[in-house]
Chains A and B, each alone.
Chain A
């Protein structure tokens, strides 16, 4: 194997092994910054030795063994450091002797270690940007440069964020553990938020961007699937996975031949990825069954979680073979449940669209009209755009026209602006009799 091939193989091994390696080390040294440094040391050793010796049969165990030796060296060298470190060093040596089988050391509770790592990297003491960067770095195996390219920020910024995040975790003495009891729900929602943020960053990236951006969807899906394996009893984890799988199933259909965005109802459904849809529907099924079980055990309130609800909405589209077959009354109902759970004018706007599709434009318009004074939607082009559409469907063209014009002035997308202007012009033609100038 040529040296460059070996380097590429090492990259691949690193991508596969590093999260488990860092998680296992963090359990022992109780510091994810140090754990990552030790894992990096092991990687450097691999880069030095493997080109000559070849990739070992069990590369994960090799890396872990090497990192552990470095850890022992580290603690022995720092005997004059604070007493806490000394204790840790002794614990490490004891553990080392108690667990000579490095294979087993990696496999032992690796799931728990990974879960601890996810919860620590997504700790609310960190800013959302820091959580995202740390999670992608430690659990996604992405390099600082890759994260920077994906989020369109300089590499130094990401490096800074990661260094500061690690420092904060140490300073705030954030324990390396899975939260329990009442704390779990809030902490879990922080983890889910980070994963969905990563997904959306990739999902909203338009075609033609650096490929690292759309790849974020896959990174988020991978993280979500890992979490679903680690915390299989949490309905919202499966709900989030379902939502991401179903949304990702449409990636291919979302962009037209000249890279223009294609709206959901106009998409060629033959391009939807049926494998991801099947996985998404299965995850949604698990989420809903778990919730039903929890309800029976009276562990939870009756409310479906926000990710599961959004996944259920996405599933209504995924199940419809044509746009006409969409179960709009069910979607309207799900948006109503979502609005009760997490009230938001944007959710209401979506509910209005679903109501209009289910029960006619008048039903949607009545809800839209209650949103017109909503300050947060003041500059949101979709509000006048939807209102204009419903008015036009009701034949009220002279009211529809100014709505389309307003929407056109608000949108930042040139193609959409053109489309809205055309609709305004069409309304002007339909208005009869013409308004005296």
Chain B
């Protein structure tokens, strides 16, 4: 089963502590070594982004930053795992690192299953 981990938090000016980045790098290495993490990346500031929205039959483009948003997506990763529990466990470990290395930081990791061939077979 493939999962997308979507990490959200308030947009901050300061960079994350080096200890956190090191710990995350170690966790990513471990996940790569375990053959579970198959892709991922960090996202730039919303100031460099834009939103393209369809509403009321009208497509509008709004340039960043998205100052009204409480939390924005900061990064994502794709995992191939056996179960949702395994995905949740991986996300818990990721958040524990934040707890340890970035006091005061708040945010969430959303764990979402991606569709695989077995889901297509079911709907067919």
Contacts and interface: CB of A to CB of B under 8 A. Distances in A.
B34 A222 contact: yes
Contact of B33 (A9, A11, A111, A254): A111
B88 A275 contact: no
Contact of A16 (B34, B39, B96, B121): B34
A436 interface: no
B33 A275 contact: no
A218 interface: yes
Contacts of A428: none
Given A15-B86, A57-B96, A225 B121 contact: no
A208 B36 CA distance: 25
Contact of A251 (B86, B90, B117): B117
Contact of B117 (A11, A141, A222, A252): A252
Contact of A8 (B32, B85, B120): B85
Contacts of B1: 218
A13 B121 contact: no
Nearest to A259: B124
Interface string A180-222: 0000000000000000000000000001100100110010011
A275 B96 contact: no
A274 to B, nearest CB: 10
A279 interface: yes
B67 interface: no
Nearest to A11: B85
Interface string B5-47: 0000000000000000000000000001111101100000000
A196 B91 CA distance: 30
A89 B77 CA distance: 43
A56 to B, nearest CB: 11
B35 A224 contact: yes
B118 interface: yes
Contacts of A8: 83, 85
A16 B89 contact: yes
A57 B80 CA distance: 23
Contacts of B120: 252, 255
Given A12-B86, A15-B86, A16-B89, A225 B117 contact: no
Contact of A221 (B35, B89, B90, B121): B35
B20 to A, nearest CB: 16
A28 interface: no
A257 interface: yes
A269 to B, nearest CB: 15
A225 B82 contact: no
B109 interface: no
A435 interface: no
A301 interface: no
A211 B35 CA distance: 20
Contacts of B32: 225, 229
Contact of A279 (B36, B38, B85, B96): B38
Interface string B76-101: 00101111011011100000100000
Contact of A230 (B33, B86, B89): B33
A226 B78 CA distance: 16
A259 B86 CA distance: 30
Interface string A243-260: 000000001101101110
B35 A11 contact: no
B83 A15 contact: yes
A312 interface: no
Contacts of A165: none
B86 A222 contact: no
Contacts of A225: 32, 35
Contacts of A226: 33-35
Given A207-B124, A221-B80, A223-B35, 7 more contacts: A12-B86, A207-B118, A222-B35, A222-B80, A225-B35, A229-B35, A259-B121
12 contacts: A8-B83, A8-B85, A9-B88, A9-B89, A16-B34, A218-B80, A222-B35, A226-B35, A229-B32, A229-B33, A255-B120, A275-B38
Interface of B: 1, 32-36, 38-39, 78, 80-83, 85-86, 88-90, 96, 116-118, 120-121, 124
> Which 9 pairs show the lowest CB-CB distances between chains A and B?
A225-B35, A12-B85, A222-B35, A207-B121, A251-B117, A12-B89, A12-B86, A229-B33, A226-B35
